[in-house]
Copies of this chain bind each other. A is one copy, B any other.
């Protein structure tokens, strides 16, 4: 399949003045230029000067939690977890996780997201939903461990993670990757973390963790081990594998230096951190230190949306306000965090940019919608005025997954029907 985008704009970073034509062949971008390529494409999209942007990468999610949207808002973290989330998660099963993941995927595709990193359980169900959707995902079975003396090689959760790896890693022509995952320092013993790091190294996969999300989590680790969670993971050998660390709200200067040196991605989840009252990540410091900062939505239960565009806009704004510095962030950096940096965090190095040879993960954004008139600068338009409803088209690996209100890989009516049935009887 080949698609020619005629007369589209690219953001200022790409250096073109005026519209260009972009050709996609199979999974990749094969031409960008002012001239029309000498090639008869299967499909021609008239761009009308709309913006062709790299599609969004969601660097941190618990996709099946979409079932719990708005389930216990405005509550402190511990009450939210104990009274709302944990009892609801007790009732999860394969069918429900698959449905929750499908709901998440529908929302993400509609919002221009083509790939997400996921920490959860019932991974087979999630993987099935990803496979059929045409999206990409780095899925991981999130591990908790509380017994120091246990034989981790025999732990049922660790075995499940290894089974997941064997079954799904590379499926869908590489769309699905399996990462290892340590839920967090405070929910694991050191030996298990070390063992999971070793497994990730042996399998050649990445690692997904929660890191210093709340002040109490950060301080309790220091009280327990005399070191921060970042140093705890460093000392356990975890950070020797490509790691995506979610939240990082309370990392200190030393932690930031470690993250930069080890190439740890900070999956910044601004909305979730605000909503749960966790705090605001030290974006400026981390950016200056050279940390790869990507953007994540976290699960819907603490957001309550799955829009990387929204995270991009919150991040662009909140760090200016909290630092009292309008120059603390810039639109181009935030777009990069939402696209290229997320692709890097997933080990998808041929994705996240519009360039010949790169994967065709693309969205077409409506520059004619009333909230985008006038537009003096496309990067500014994305960061400060665009809306999810401006996403006209979403392409993943060169395949159109969404176009003008219609999904190509999802049966929306069936999904709504299934959602109604499962959700209305969730606690029966």
Q: Which residues of A contact B (CB under 8 A)?
A: 67, 69-71, 73-77, 80, 103, 106-107, 110-111, 215, 271, 273-280, 300, 303-307, 314, 317-318, 320-331, 368, 370-377, 380-381, 383-385, 387-389, 412, 416, 419, 423
Q: List, in ascending order, chain B residues with CB within 8 A of A324's CB.
A: 215, 277-279
Choose from B275, B326, B373 the contact partner of A277 (Cβ within 8 Å): B326
Q: List, in ascending order, chain B residues with CB within 8 A of A389's CB.
A: 387-389
The list of the 6 closest CB pairs from A to B, nearest first, reads A274-B321, A389-B389, A277-B326, A70-B380, A304-B384, A274-B317
Distance in Å: Cβ of A93 to nearest Cβ of chain B: 17
B73 touches A275 (CB 8 A): no
Distance in Å: Cβ of A8 to nearest Cβ of chain B: 19
Closest to A389 in B: B389
A323 touches B368 (CB 8 A): no
Q: In the complex, what distance in Å separates the CA atom of A274 from the CA atom of B314? A: 9
Q: In the complex, what distance in Å separates the CA atom of A412 from the CA atom of B106? A: 31
B273 touches A321 (CB 8 A): yes
Q: In the complex, what distance in Å separates the CA atom of A327 from the CA atom of B77? A: 9
Closest to A326 in B: B277
A73 touches B373 (CB 8 A): no
A325 touches B388 (CB 8 A): no
Choose from B77, B279, B327, B373 the contact partner of A321 (Cβ within 8 Å): B279
Could you list 11 further interchain pairs (A-B, Cβ under 8 angstroms) beyond the known A71-B376, A305-B384?
A69-B372, A69-B385, A70-B374, A74-B327, A74-B380, A103-B373, A275-B317, A277-B324, A279-B321, A279-B324, A368-B416
Q: List, in ascending order, chain B residues with CB within 8 A of A300's CB.
A: 385
Closest to A382 in B: B70
Q: In the complex, what distance in Å separates the CA atom of A335 from the CA atom of B318? A: 21
Knowing A74-B330, A387-B388, A388-B387 are in contact, say whether A373-B69 is a contact too (CB < 8 A). yes
B384 touches A280 (CB 8 A): no
Q: In the complex, what distance in Å separates the CA atom of A201 from the CA atom of B303? A: 46
B277 touches A380 (CB 8 A): no
Choose from B330, B373, B385 the contact partner of A419 (Cβ within 8 Å): B373
Knowing A275-B326, A326-B75, A326-B80 are in contact, say whether A70-B385 is a contact too (CB < 8 A). yes
